[in-house]
Structure 1
Amino acid sequence: MTLHVDAAGDRLVVTISGELDLESDPLLQQTLSKALDRAVGGLELDLAGVDFCDCSTLNVLLDVRDRARLSDKQVTLRATSRAVQRLLTLTNTLALFAGNRTAPDGHPAPSQAVAGRTAPPAEPTRERAAPDAPTAHARRPHSTERTDRSHDGLAMENAQLHRAMQTRAPIDLARGMLMASFHLTPEQAWQVLVTTSQHSNTKLNRIADALVQTADGHTPLPEPFANHLATAVRVHNSAA
């Protein structure tokens, strides 16, 4: 893993490349925490060069994001690789790192590039309102309405964080079981879980839960999962 920290207005851009796992997490946590303390507005993460990212690293990113929120700062993604985007998408946490960035002059910054793609520009605002449309003053929501919406948004984020925390542990355990049982690398074990999830049309955390339950030596893996898992192990193990 390599890390570079650069200034961008009131924020710091942290560019990370290489493999992110349990071994690299302490250095990543230390670097991001120090950068967050120094940054006035928060951090922007450039993860386009990350080849591998596991759930333990997601835990680090969520912890740093939580610290940033307590300080009225943001931790957002400037760019990300397929490996990172896949992890954030499967754990339903991608939206948590898509905060609104602003340029040093106070205007909105350009759209963020995610996984090498840039979001299309927003449609221009219409200058003329419809004949029956209310005035700008009438359309302005009441203060209590804005408060309710902000509470709804916070509740949604908390729910997403809770789901992510619940799914990380079983997924990490399942990957460890696959690595120990079939002599797989961390990336191969992750690919086995993803492939099994895709081919069985089942959420990855359910696959992980079922696999972890077999650790007692008495609970068999359900037949559909077992067949897809065996095929995925053969494919990704031979690919090495």
Structure 2
Amino acid sequence: MSSATHTSLAGRLDTLAIDSSVEGGRAVLVPRGDLIHGCADTLARTLAGLPDDTDRVDLDMTGVTFMDTTGLHFLEVLDTYARRRGTRVSATGWNDQPRRVLEMAGLDPDDPLHGPATCREPVPSAVVLERTRQLDRLRTEVEQLRQAILTRPVIDQARGVLMATHACSPDEAWNVLREASQLSNTKLRKVAAVVTAGAGGGGPQPPPELREALRRAIDRCLN
């Protein structure tokens, strides 16, 4: 049995799907994809479809590759289900970026449902303030990741142009783009767009400061 939700990024983020199996009153749920908008609803539908005699629900999160703050609501849905049904639950196997999100939210990635953020004891105001700051930083980081996903095609194209033009490696091409971005105080995706447009010829000329930044970046990174 499986449930799924689609993303708003035209397929650039992975659809969340949840495979489930039940044996002897224990349900094993295996989410795969990204914990973004709609993921909590997907989990709620999956939980609602479990047999009434389910007394344990274990989530294997190793297949989750990306998570924004919506993923915290995903955990709230699971926690609420456990409390209402008197069911034991767990969500283990967090890796990479999702694990970092949990840490920044003040949760124990090895046991997020029973860590500091889900306990029912009063939390000191200083801890609440620090946790709020962490979540603000987290939202900024997640937005940067979203932008990276959305702009990756033009960045990859620009790297290809530089590799073909200067016979350099993918890492060297990336360093050129990053260096030019820093030198000109220009967003990376704009630098990449200029490099890509220049390869086709006939495109608008970039500002002088960006042309100079690209020249200096190539000299520094490739010579």
Superposition TM-score, scaled by structure 1 size? 0.43
Superposition TM-score, scaled by structure 2 size? 0.45
Asked which structure has the greater CA Rg, the reply is 2
